[in-house]
Structure 1
Amino acid sequence: MEAFPLSNNTSTEPGWLTPTNSDPDYDETLDALLGQWISSVSGLPADNVCPRWGSDPPLTPSAGTAWCAFGITGWASDGSPAFTNQTEEEVQFWRQETFECTASFYGPAGMTFAARFRDGIAVPQNNSGLNTLGFSLIDYVCLTPCQELIEQTWVRRYDMTTQLRRKIAREYAIQSLVAAPVTLSGE
């Protein structure tokens, strides 16, 4: 197979193209946004809302502390991205991403904070705040009570999964065709 190098990252030469703009928030930055949302809506202190997975997982809070662990448990994208806003120099690639985020509330007031979060995401002003982070609330499922064994003690846990959607836009240096060196002949 013939290799195509990156070249000049435009459609003027053969080769692979990468976006010319910055990437949307993923990984730890996305976790920080979701943690801010959960903390703000539930009323839990920001230090008591932590990503479920990470390179440096936080210590489990003491048994008398209310806290939340969250994580992205699903990530889908639409099957029909759009190429739009074509200029002479570039085109935008738009795609909708849907995230499933599961939040687990723990501690003696875990049920209270879970219910507060459930009710708070239905408040239009809170959804406006979520929109400023680039997301829209699509759906959520009911709270599910569970138990979890943490440090040899059974603790109450309340899980809730939300679906959030956002539009991402990537720019590619795909230049528009302004002239074609073609001669047509015929009758």
Structure 2
Amino acid sequence: MEVRVSNDSTAPGYLTPISASQDYDETLERELSQWVRTLSGLPAGMVRPRWTPVQPALPAADKNWCGFGIIGFTSDNTPAFAQQTDDSNQLWRHEVIETLASFYGPQSQSIATLFRDGMTVEQNNETLKQNELSLADYSELTAFPELINNQWVRRYDITVRLRRKIIREYGIKSLVDAPVSFFGD
């Protein structure tokens, strides 16, 4: 049996969004890495993705850097349908993006606190809002020294949760006319 994908509700089949989606995958990861780099004051190239197909060499133990990645997405289980027009309907859902930043190096503790405190500055939150994100909350800094190449390297971890509203538009047509006849008095 062939499953048909239709892009509006005038025909049977599955519906797919007709509008552009918010950023995900590498685009979102790059945007958030830039945010971490800016708030922490680390130089370009020193906020690195946690998981890549080819792992680059780790910086030397005397270098300050950050391993950063998205570790989870949670969403509300009650999306709302809003903005109904004759041609479409929007699905609205709130999503929380959980990230982990691990700061390494001799000044990792102070750099991690710069990042933590920078998140609470309202102007920095306004910049996040321009990208449809807002700070939900963050964890305490946790010391997590790591043995790398037979050397103990200072490491401090912080988990940050960001919130955003997801909007997906579907071609759900409004019912404007129905072939109904009424009988009786």
TM-score category of the 2 structures, normalised to the smaller one: over 0.9
C-alpha distance after superposition, 1:101-136 (max 9, x if no partner): 110000111111101011111111111111112110
Matching of residues 14-25 of structure 1 within 5 Å: 14-25=12-23
TM-score scaled by structure 1? 0.94
**Paired residue for 1:5?**
4
Residues 70-127 of structure 1, C-alpha deviation per residue, up to 9 Å, x if partnerless? Answer: 1112210011111111111111111111011110000111111101011111111111
- Residue of structure 2 in register with 1:122 after alignment: 120
Shift of 1:55: 2.6
Give the alignment partner of residue 78 of structure 2, picking from 77, 80, 83: 80
**Distance change (3 Å), C-alpha of 1:57 and 1:134:** farther
**Structure 1: segments with no counterpart, 5+ residues:** none
Runs of 4+ aligned structure 1 residues displaced above 6 Å come to: none
Q: Structure 1 residue 4: deviation in Å? A: 3.1
Gaps of 5+ in 2: none
Task: Work out whether residues 4 and 14 of structure 1, in 8 Å CA contact, stay in contact via their aligned partners in 2.
Answer: no
Aligned residues: 185
| Residue of 31, 39, 42 corresponding to 1:41 | 39
State the distance in 2 between where 1:75 and 1:94 align. 16
Q: Name 1:111's counterpart in structure 2.
A: 109
Deviations 1:16-72 (A, max 9, x none): 111111221111111101101101111111310011012343321111110001111
Task: Give the drift of 1:14.
Answer: 0.3
What's the counterpart of residue 153 of structure 1? 151
Tell me, in whole angstroms, the C-alpha distance in 2 between the residues paired with 1:174 and 1:32: 34
Aligned-pair identity in percent equals 52
